[in-house]
Structure 1
Amino acid sequence: MNAGPFEWRAMAAMLAQGRWLRAISLWLLAAALAGLWWSTAPLRTAVLLGSVVAALMQAYYALRVDFDARLLQALAETAPDGEDEAAAARRLDAGLIGLGLLPAARAGRDWAARWRGALGLLRRQAAALLLQWALLVGAFVLDGTWLGRIAGASA
């Protein structure tokens, strides 16, 4: 796989889409917190708390995805002319090891593995957002269902 400034910028742009997921998550978190403020039913409260936990998971992945996006953008902007992908990987690894952000044992991965890892983080961020949304919707659906009445959600 070829990796150079264009590919790094392209991957950074792809990962930057995680910022949209983060923004949506913040709105869903606000709705969950508002629901918790007014909730009197134990089941609905538990489901809303689950949504808040999913929001925290999403925030963790959002931080990691955004860091990777900015890291790839910086790598592209500081690449010397003619630097090959192996030298760029060594430069990136050396910087991360120097900052204590990468264990030396994980250095030397090829770019395909790095792409898979970065996209995996973005997928996990999206999955956490979907879980957050599903739990939030579930909490408010409980209000109008027989399960909600049994659980005291409409009390």
Structure 2
Amino acid sequence: MGALISTCHGLLAPFNPWISGFGTALLIMGLLQKYWAIRVSFDAHLMQRLADHPQPLTDKTKALDHALTALALQPEEKAGRPWDKRIGNTLRLLRRQVTLLAAQIVLTLSFSLAIPWLVTVA
């Protein structure tokens, strides 16, 4: 949402360094938040697929590690990690995503409230 606001405003308004700064920050935060959202979604889908299959967890874990290593999505030394560590890392990714989303919302609200003053300054 912030990326859309910043892009539209940048195309329609005359140059103002404050508004451009807010817009650029919103755009960067929006892209970073989207990146973390994709990572969290990927992990969630992987875990759901593993949970849906009746094979033993050790077999599924070995197959997952092999596939992730073959696709260069995981270094070889991370193979064989315990599931509590994997789940902890996924929760860390989710916290990053939520933090960026919250920061984006705060910046968007600040941007919206500050526009009248920023426009009169320029």
Q: TM above 0.5, one fold?
A: yes
Residue from 22, 27, 35 that aligns with 1:52:
27
In 2, the alpha carbon distance for the partners of 1:45 and 1:140 equals 13
Whether the aligned pair in 2 keeps the contact of 1:93 and 1:107 (CA below 8 Å) is: yes
Q: Which amino acid aligns with 2:64?
A: L
Aligned length: 120
Per the alignment, in what secondary structure is the counterpart of residue 101 of structure 1?
coil
Taking structure 1 as reference, are residues 60 and 68 closer, same or farther at Cα in structure 2, changes over 3 Å only?
Answer: same
**Runs ≥4 residues deviating over 3 A:** none
2:89 maps to 1:117: yes
TM (norm. structure 1) is: 0.68
Deviation string, structure 1 residues 30-56 (Cα, Å, up to 9, x no partner) = 222222223432111111110000001
**Segment drifting more, 31-40 vs 92-101:** 31-40
Output aligned runs, 1:137-148, within 5 Å.
137-145=109-117, 148=118
Unaligned runs of 5+ in 1: 1-26
Per the alignment, in what secondary structure is the counterpart of residue 74 of structure 2?
coil
Q: Which amino acid aligns with 2:37?
A: A
Per the alignment, in what secondary structure is the counterpart of residue 108 of structure 1?
coil
Quote the RMSD (CA, aligned, Å): 1.8
2:102 maps to 1:130: yes
Whether the aligned pair in 2 keeps the contact of 1:51 and 1:131 (CA below 8 Å) is: no
Whether the aligned pair in 2 keeps the contact of 1:52 and 1:132 (CA below 8 Å) is: no
Q: Which amino acid aligns with 1:98?
A: A
TM (norm. structure 2) is: 0.84
Q: Which amino acid aligns with 2:69?
A: I
In 2, the alpha carbon distance for the partners of 1:36 and 1:119 equals 35
Identity among equivalent positions (%) equals: 29
In 1, the alpha carbon distance for the partners of 2:40 and 2:68 equals 15
Whether the aligned pair in 1 keeps the contact of 2:6 and 2:22 (CA below 8 Å) is: no
Residue from 100, 109, 113 that aligns with 2:72:
100
Whether the aligned pair in 1 keeps the contact of 2:26 and 2:104 (CA below 8 Å) is: yes
2:10 maps to 1:36: yes
